[in-house]
Amino acid sequence: MTIRLHAKGLTKTFTLHTQGGIVLPVFDDVELTVKAGECVCLHGPSGAGKSTLLRSLYANYKPDAGQILVKHLGQTVDLLAAEPWEVVEIRRSTIGYVSQFLRVIPRVGALDVVAEPAIANGMPVDEAKARARTLLTRLRIPERLWSLAPATFSGGEQQRVNIARGFIVDYPILLLDEPTASLDAANRATVVDLIDEAKIRGTAVVGIFHDKEVRNAVADRLFEVGKAAVPSSSGKSDLQMSAGAMVE
């Protein structure tokens, strides 16, 4: 199967200049390959660096070293070496990202918030809004809320708007940061369906799923994310390398 995303040699440390210049190593020499139609779950204890790795894959965080190779419009591009305008284009059409929290935009209604990424990616406005309506319906956002700005919505409702926004474009690569964290069982099941449908379309999914049921339902394998503090003699921390581990 086609490899959609290949990260190699990824190393990330944070230097906190405002706190006495403390250096926090997060991960070192990480290699991760994700194929089309595959869902990889980033796994490890809280603070292990799962979110940092996921954000790095979106070029939201800047790793100190390594490459993130993605197929973008038929070409292989290194996300970390790409110019800012290129990253903007890659995010528009190739890599989607669902964060834990919706960054609300003042005065923009939920339906428009959801439709926006599709319109930016060239979908006709009517079609984008029709898709947004379908997604909001599936995620049980009552129609009377669609025209309202999500700032006043509950946490779970905001999260579902966020998920709809992430699934409106058929991205070849989709990154999910705890998409079901504040959802009830029915909505969790809908998110599992959405992920399954994306996988069938050939989307490569990388996610953090704390909920065991969701993880078992969608993940094809676990990718252990561990501490970078103890590199082995080969210079590689084998804690991170657990490529073939299967879901229990």
Q: Which residues in this chain contact another protein in the complex, by CB under 8 A?
A: 3, 6, 14-18, 55, 59-62, 67, 69, 71-73, 75-78, 81-89, 103, 105-108, 120
* Minimum distance of another protein from residue 158's CB (angstroms): 16
Report CA Rg, the chain: 18
Residues 6+ apart with CB under 8 A from 238: 232
Least CB distance to another protein at residue 241 (A): 19
**Looking at beta carbons only, is 52 or 190 nearer to another protein?**
52
Closest to another protein by CB, 82 or 189: 82
Contact criterion met (CB below 8 Å) for 68 and 31: no
* 75 vs 233, beta carbon nearer another protein: 75
Of residues 69 and 118, the one with the C-beta less far from another protein = 69
**Closer to another protein at the Cβ: 54 or 217?**
54
27 within 8 A of 7, measured Cβ to Cβ: no
Single-letter code of the amino acid located at 85 = W
For the bound state, the minimum distance from the C-beta of residue 248 to another protein, rounded and expressed in Å, comes to 30
Q: Identity (one letter) of the amino acid at 234?
A: S
Which ranges of the chain does DSSP label H, i.e. alpha helix? 50-57, 84-93, 110-120, 125-138, 155-167, 185-201, 212-218
The separation between the first and the last C-alpha atoms of the chain, rounded to the nearest angstrom, is 24
Least Cβ distance, residue 140 to another protein (angstroms): 27
Taken as a whole, the chain contains a residue count of 248
What's the closest the beta carbon of residue 84 comes to another protein, in angstroms? 5
Tell me the two tokens of residue 44. 């490890």
